[in-house]
Amino acid sequence: MTVTSDHLPRPPAHLVTPGTALFLDADGTLLAFADDPEGVVVPEGMLDTLDALHETLDGALALVSGRAIASLDDIFGRPRWAAAGQHGLERRETDGRTVTVPVDAAELARLRDEVHSAALAMPGVRVEDKSWSVALHCREHPEYLGELEHLAPAIAARFPGFELQPGSYVYEFKPRGMDKGVAVAAFLDTPPFRGRSPVYLGDDLTDEHAFSLVNDRGGASVRVGARTPSSAVFTLSSPGDVHAWLDSVKAALTQGAAGRQ
Ligand SMILES: O=P(O)(O)OC[C@H]1O[C@H](O[C@H]2O[C@H](CO)[C@@H](O)[C@H](O)[C@H]2O)[C@H](O)[C@@H](O)[C@@H]1O
């Protein structure tokens, strides 16, 4: 087993079995980062791999992202897959039903105005306006990170129904009480995920909620990259490494199926 410098092992390909529920974060896990959130590219061959896994797992594969589900559909073109968007504020089940969390529209509108005004004073900082949440991105202007570190919590403090979710060069404001762990738990209560052992891959702070949940449920958490501290139990180095690993999972599952025939 390859061991990284922080002593987390690489997950074996047989971590995923036909009885697994596979949860995959998007940016930083399946997708390499891009300056513009709309500029990400699905690596060649990845959709074939994911389609094969989706079939072998009888649909128990879900994208779990901070992005809106509409954005995931634009990127992956798989509107039939289960997906949690905006950190679980919207969750699409495999029957196509989408469950959303109620949001105080008036408070969200005030928050949006404030976030847009704040961005005006930081040229180049992008505002990503999603239906239930809003994000301030500074990947292209990391010089604003220090300012945002103070400004974002100050804005969040004025909106009691919302909470701050920091991420990779981003501060997101989202309605209180929902996170990726809650979203994964909800999936595990519904078919085809129910009764399966969860495996979760993610790279960012927002994925830690899901890591804790799957660890508690006897599953396995895989951190992508080297961010520490993390409660994940395995690690992969990059989205490219994730792709290679998913290919090895697919091969192991195919071999196992052939062996059972
Ligand atoms: O939960 P995820 O799927 O990892 O989504 C987290 C956020 O991802 C996107 O932002 C991140 O990726 C962008 C594209 O590579 C990058 O420009 C940005 O700096 C990153 O923070 C997305 O735009 C957000 O809505 C997601 O919440």
Complex ipTM, two decimals?
0.98
CATH for 147: 3.30.70.1020
Same domain, 197 and 238: yes
> What spacing in Å lies between the alpha carbon of 102 and ligand 1's midpoint?
23
CA 64/CA 26 separation, integer angstroms: 7
Beta carbon of 128 within 6 Å of any ligand 1 atom = yes
Closest CA to 28 of 190, 173, 230: 230
Radius of gyration of the chain (CA): 18
Q: Are both 183 and 232 inside the same structural domain? A: yes
Query: Which among 89, 93, 98, 99 has a CA at the least distance from the CA of 132?
Result: 89
Q: State the alpha helices, DSSP H only, in 81-142.
A: 105-120
pLDDT attached to residue 124: 95
pLDDT at 259: 74
Mark whether 212 and 91 lie in a shared domain: yes
Instruction: Say if 257 falls within a structural domain.
Output: no
Mean pLDDT, range 160-188, rounded to an integer? 96
Amino acid in the structure at residue 157: A
Q: What residues are paired with 63 via a beta bridge?
A: 24, 83
**d(C-alpha 55, C-alpha 58), whole Å:** 5
The rounded percent of the chain whose pLDDT value lies above 90 is 93
Given 175, 196, 216, which residue is the final one in a domain? 175
CA angle centred on 177, ends 126 and 31, rounded to 5°: 45
Cβ of 204 less than 6 Å from ligand 1:
yes
Q: Is 67 in the pocket of ligand 1 (CB under 6 A)?
A: yes
Q: How confident is the model at residue 4 (pLDDT cuts 50, 70, 90)?
A: very low
Output 137 or 257, whichever has higher pLDDT.
Answer: 137
pLDDT of residue 5: 46
Does this model's pTM top 0.90? My answer is: yes
Residue 170 Cα to ligand 1 midpoint, Å, equals 8
- Count of structural domains within the chain: 2
Task: Answer yes or no: 25 catalytic.
Answer: yes
Q: Which domain holds residue 220?
A: 21-36+57-100+178-242
Question: Which of 123, 158, 175 is at the close of a domain?
Answer: 175
Q: Summarize pLDDT for 214-242 with one digit per residue, the tens.
A: 999 999 999 999 999 999 999 999 999 99
